Structure 1
Amino acid sequence: MIDIKKITPDDAQKIKYLDEGHFLDLKSKDIRPAKLTETISAFANTSAGEIYIGIEENDILTLKDRCWNGFNDMEEANAILQTVEELSPLGNHYSAIFYEADDQQGLVLHLTIYKTNKILRASNRKVYIRRGAQKLPIDSAEALKRLEYDKGITTFEDDLLSIPSDYITNSIVTLGFMIDVVPMSEPDPWLRNQLVLIDGKPTVAGVLLFAEEPQAILPKRSAIKVYRYYTANEEGERDTLAFDPITIEGHLYLLIESAKNRVKEIVEKIQKLGPDGLENVLYPEEALQEIITNAVIHRDYSIPRDVHIRIFDNRIEIESPGRLPGHITIANILDDQSARNPKIIRLINKFPNPPNKDVGEGLKTAFEAMSKLRLKKPEITETESSVLVILRRESLASPEQMVMEYLQGHEEITNAVARQLTGIKSENTMKDVFYRLKDRNEIEQVPGKAGRSSAWRKPK
């Protein structure tokens, strides 16, 4: 028997305007059951998710709005529930509950879809996966083989820990988190429903996300170590260590934010010689955020080692325990996904302003942020037991340097060619580069060429 839970009008409003994405979808109660199973297949085969059935989207002139239009009674949803149940022999791929609220029409059915150990096919026998807010069919033997490989991996995040349940049910973290959960719920049943509290025992994922001090329960595998070396050498040595390594602790949401802020604080004190003297070193905050987030939520927690962040004069190294999961390689890491810790990834996404807001796009964001500052792309390498990401404070060469290097092998350079080399889009910005070089007597304008034909050369 599926329960009916009454929620407040405020919670009903929150449900109506939830953002659809990688872990959540809103559907009309009139959706065909067979069509719904495609979304269920996608969630079950990827990183799990939630579906609210009974939310309509109305077009009002050019505006879009949503309304609560639920089932008149539980029996009206029988066709959907029966179809969902038939997808798996054991029927353990989902949980369901109905919500009702004052001043709202009918019952909204909330399905929580779990990531299954086996491949879950839709009613049409096709296999789907979730990418962002889309469900995508698996239509090649190679892709299906990759999915099978991913599903054969057992994740350490599901291991049970022999500690009292109130480490997570009654923690400050959980109590504060539940205030923002939609709809409002009690910690114990909610944590059990999310499968981070099983048979009265917290899982590794539950402790990492909701315990006040996960490091006391999972030592040597749940903190971040930060180092600062006064060197640009390939290896950091003890005599170049600026201070004793800093250990950052806390539940994962706090851990990521604290680490980012501490690294940013240390980096902002570093200076380098620039065209006008000493200037502060800058790394894009988005790149730091995304790579630290990835290092924490995608790491292998079965390995008893912390995440290490090493700050050098010319680079930042972020090392995360565990090799790349599943079928992910250095070649496809920007275009493909494999969730080693799907519960951690999904549940941390529920926190306010989650660190993994754009699921699956984190590394792309880091690459784009470095490119905007005309810095070299992040370097990703795989060691025997870890993944290492390096953010180098090395320009793709400054525009001035790129111009001069070009003129070492060419007689002259035009504005158009220089913009292609440097990535500068503005013609006037490129002119400023030429004028700065001219002021230093590095280049001169080619006589007899003006307008669009104007060019620059080394002084004769």
Structure 2
Amino acid sequence: MEGRTVSRAEAADLLGRQEDHFWEFKSARSGGAVVQVIAAALANAEGGEFMVGIEDPRTGQGLARWRGFASLEDANFVQQAMVDQVEPPVPYDIEFLRVAGRPELGWACLVTVHKSPDVHRTARGEVPQRRGAQSRRLKGTQITDLSLSKGARSYEDQPLGDYGLEELRDEEELHVFLGRYSPRTSAERFLRRQRLVDRDGCLATVAGAVLFAAEPPAVVPKKCSVKIARYETAEQLPDRRHLKAPPTTVDGPVRPLIERTLAAVTRIIQSVPVLGPDGSLSPMAYPPEALKEIIVNAVIHRDYNLSDDILISVFDNRVEVRSPGRLPGHMTPDNLLTDRFARNPTIVRLLNKYPDAPNKDIGEGLDTVLSTMKAARLKEPRFFVEANAFVVVLEHTPLARPEELVLRYLRSNPEIPNRIARRITGIASEARMKRVFHRLRDAGQIEPVPGRTGSRAAWRLRRD
């Protein structure tokens, strides 16, 4: 067991953290049963940290909450609970912290729990799993699903043959991260503690390179960039003649990669003119939160074992995001909103440690996409799995019924041909669009424009 002293500022940073999917405080008066639950819950999810020796905020503020152990030996029960009372033992690292100039506050125990390939049970035989800021007990098929999701070692843990600790510890993004990380630590200590290097401490892992290397594609053997393509068409199966320009490639560590990708996609989207229901042209627009969540999920949950880039295609009427790899574990398009499973738990957990983490609201991302698209009166996104990719489609199709959109257009324009009607309603089929016109005709709302047939045919509001 090792102990070290932290500054009052570092202690304040630690105490200021909010409990979430990766972090929790526990009192020094907590027993082994409490430690078992939080440790097993984190190991059964994506891993995380908890700190024993910190009281609930209701007991006081600031350092008044720091009520640690008088000696390191007094905290022996923490390790015993994780090793002797959880089956199998959880993988963890531990260190003890005390506040400079305040030895009377005692030692607080900071525990880092790593995601495990095993299903961990407490001494009572319960299987807890971290969900948001709670540890929930799994039952029945939930335990079966967890078991099926475990087992295979994630590719993010694989060591890289020619990219070592010496290079990774000098990367600029790592020092940007550590400059805002608390408690303060050296680059080498952090990389070893977070298992971003192999057991010998010589080779960096895929996760370490993806998170912090200046140019991950240069050191990771598989493709890991983002490509952005603009297709000037609304067709479902475009070809190269529809490409406005060669696809743009975006690289960089995960956090900058997400920011650069979001900025590039937003610029392209805003250059796409969209025909509105009133007949006017305006720049295409999506809820920024929806775009961000879809891009974040594609980057952090992709399968880095597949040698393929994320492909984002911007069409005249939609945005498609293809992330390499099928859904991980027991996940399916049907349980995306109720279950969670991270293919790359280390990347997910450490990205969440940035103060401005792009994945701050763990477990709420897709709910945000759905709610913001609905608020913008756009259709719900579509999710589906292809042979080797997970695909999300954000359609720029109004939520209103096609009949309503046609009538709205005709209130500002003298006529509407099939071609224009399909653009404003998102209907791809000419025959289906004709059926919409016929329903409006039968309801006495519209009539054909006299003398216009074939490709020149159009409709107008009925004139009595």
Query: TM-score, normalising length from structure 1?
Result: 0.84
Check the 8 A contact 1:40/1:122 in 2, yes or no: no
> Are 2:311 and 2:321, in contact at CA under 8 Å, matched by a contact in 1?
yes
Name the structure 1 match of 2:414.
none
Task: Give me the whole-angstrom Cα distance separating, in 2, the residues matched to 1:358 and 1:286.
Answer: 12
Specify which of 260, 263, 270 is matched with residue 268 of structure 1: 270
Distance 2:297 2:224 in 1: 14
- Secondary structure of 2:55's match? strand
Give the 5 Å matches for 1:90-239.
93-104=91-102, 105-140=105-140, 142-162=141-161, 163-198=163-198, 199=200, 200-218=202-220, 221-239=223-241
Match of 1:354 in 2: 357
1:48 aligns with 2:31: no
Q: Is the Cα contact below 8 Å between 1:57 and 1:65 reproduced in 2? A: no
Stretch moving more, 202-211 or 215-224: 215-224
Amino acid of the residue matched to residue 236 of structure 1?
Answer: P
Q: Residue 81 of structure 1 corresponds to which residue in structure 2?
A: 79
Please report how far the alpha carbon of residue 57 of structure 1 lies from its aligned counterpart in structure 2 after TM superposition: 2.1
Tell me the residue number matched to 1:376: 379
Aligned-partner Cα distance in 2 for 1:152–1:203: 19
Question: Which of the residues 267, 284, 294 maps onto 1:291?
Answer: 294
Alignment CA distance shift 1:66-1:256 (3 Å): farther
- Structure 1 residue 459: Cα displacement: 9.2
Q: Which residue of 1 aligns with 2:31?
A: 32
Aligned-partner Cα distance in 1 for 2:110–2:329 = 31
Residues 159, 204 of structure 1: 8 Å contact kept: yes
> For residues 139 and 366 of structure 1, do their structure 2 counterparts lie closer, same or farther at Cα, with a shift above 3 Å needed?
same
Residue by residue over 1:369-405, the C-alpha shift from the partner in whole angstroms, topping out at 9 and shown as x without a partner, is 1111010111111011101110000011279817969
CA–CA separation in structure 1 for the residues paired with 2:373 and 2:221: 34
Rounded Cα–Cα distance in structure 1 between residues aligned with 2:281 and 2:407: 22
Aligned-pair RMSD on alpha carbons? Answer: 2.4
CA displacement at 1:291 relative to structure 2:
0.5
Q: Does the CA-based 8 Å contact 2:25-2:56 persist in structure 1?
A: no
User: What whole-Å deviation, never above 9, does each CA across 1:250-289 have from its counterpart, x for those lacking one?
Assistant: 0111111110110001111111222162112111111110
Q: What secondary structure sits across from 1:118 in the alignment?
A: coil
In structure 1, distance between residues paired with 2:218 and 2:100: 44
Describe the SS at the equivalent of 1:161. strand
Alignment length (residue pairs): 408
Equivalent residue number for residue 389 of structure 1: 392
Q: Deviations over 1:286-310 (max 9, x none)?
A: 1110001111111111100000000
Contact 2:24 2:133 in 1 (8 A): yes
SS of 2:294's partner is: helix
Q: 1:170 to 1:247 in 2, by over 3 A?
A: same
Match of 1:322 in 2: 325
Gaps in structure 2 of 5+ consecutive residues: 409-443, 447-461
Pair 64,178 (structure 1): closer, same or farther in 2 beyond 3 Å = closer
| Residue pair 1:297, 1:344 contacting (<8 A) in 2 also | yes
Q: Structure 1: which amino acid aligns with 2:84?
A: E
Corresponding residue of 2:11: 12
Report deviation, 1:85.
2.2
Quick one: distance in 2 between partners of 1:375 and 1:261? 21
Task: Determine if contact 1:45/1:119 at 8 Å carries over to the other structure.
Answer: yes
CA distance in 2, matches of 1:12, 1:459: 76
Shift of 1:103: 4.3
More divergent stretch after superposition (245-254 vs 215-224):
215-224
CA contact (8 A) 1:17 1:66 kept: no
SS for the counterpart of 1:55 is coil
Q: Work out the CA distance in 2 between the residues paired with 1:325 and 1:91.
A: 25
Partner of residue 69, structure 1: 67
Give structure 1 stretches of 5+ with no counterpart: 406-440, 444-457
Tell me the TM-score normalized by structure 2. 0.83
